[in-house]
Amino acid sequence: MASGFFALLDDIAALMDDVAVMGKLAGKKTAGILGDDLAVNAEKASGFMSSREIPVLWAITKGSFLNKIIILPLAFLLSWLVPPAITIILLLGGLYLAYEGAEKIYEFIFPHSHKKETPELREISKEEALILEKDKIKSAVITDFILSVEIIIIALGTVAEESLIIQILVVSIIALVATVGVYGIVAMIIRMDEFGAKLIDLNERENSVSDKIGRFLVNALPKVIKSLAIIGTIALLLVSGGIFVHNTHYLEGFTENIPSIIVEFIAGLIIGFVVLLVVKIIGKVWKKFQRK
């Protein structure tokens, strides 16, 4: 009886070791998407009244949990019934990530020209503010769904050769970290300026240590969000390039002497701009077709 119990404990320990090893590998593969997820959600969760930032972020977080609950069973079912579908979805996700990264670079070089709108002088009502808030939450949850699909599929692709129990444990842990970790950091980021303002008001002395730290935090918030957007764009191209480099082996003979990070970035950049060009051509053709 005792030997059977200890054998069970040994099996559980071995399973946890495998989960830990594969979890680290999957974490590295999904780190780029998590960085972009962090940048996107920090931007979407900011811009509200101070009293509404945490309730809005909590609503988005609950939507993110629901997204994972929907996506995880479907992903495991596909992995079990149609394993090649995971690779196909992974490559499609890579195309989307490369396109998104290239589009951000394109928008930075050639920003859209927006028509100047005459600002309304009246203040919006409480009901209108709530409607705008709900719309922004809905948009954030939809974006989270797309990013969640990418994170889960990339994590699942990393452990595709492992047993089903390891796949379920590893991918579920990554999904949990993707929600708790990302939105926890987002909460700290969007409250950075509020915390800084409290430090400034901490005492009546001018130019005290708390004042300096407070002003630093207040001034740092826009720069942090902007930096996250840049890091997220680079991460998108690296992750997408890595997906194609590791799942299509036609580049191996030409790039064996080049650092993998450079190969992955260039591959993501090229694929991204090719997809961007195709999307823009289709968009122009569609507009001409609608005019007719």
Residue 194's closest CA among 58, 55, 35, 46?
Answer: 46
Domain ranges of the chain: 19-111+123-287
The three-state DSSP-derived secondary structure of 15-27 is HHHHHHHHHHHHH
Handedness of CA 15, 19, 25, 29 (dihedral sign): positive
pLDDT tens-digit readout, 219-248: 887 787 777 778 778 877 887 887 787 777
Q: Which H, E and C letters describe 116-134, residue by residue?
A: CCCCCCCCCCHHHHHHHHH
> Residue 123: its pLDDT value, please?
58
Rounded CA separation 99/82 (Å): 26
In angstroms, the CA 58 to CA 100 distance is: 26
Using CA atoms, how far residue 66 sits from 44, 178, 186, 239, in Å, is: 18, 13, 18, 25
pLDDT at 119 > cutoff 70? no
Q: How far is CA 239 from CA 132, 149, 163, 172, in A?
A: 33, 14, 25, 20
Position 158 pLDDT exceeds 60: yes
Count of alpha carbons within 13 angstroms of residue 193, beta-carbon side? 15
Helix then strand then coil, % of the chain, to nearest 5: 85, 0, 15
| Other CB atoms within 10 A of residue 219 CB | 11
pLDDT tens for 276-287 read 999 999 988 888
Q: pLDDT tens digits, residue range 159-210?
A: 777 777 877 888 888 888 878 877 887 777 777 777 787 877 777 777 777 7
Report the predicted TM-score, pTM, of the whole model to 2 decimal places. Answer: 0.67
- Average pLDDT of the chain to the nearest whole number: 75
C-alpha 34/C-alpha 151 separation (Å) is: 8
More confident residue, 3 or 268: 268
Say if CB 66 and CB 137 are below 8 A apart.
Answer: no
Residue 275 in this model has a pLDDT that exceeds 90: yes
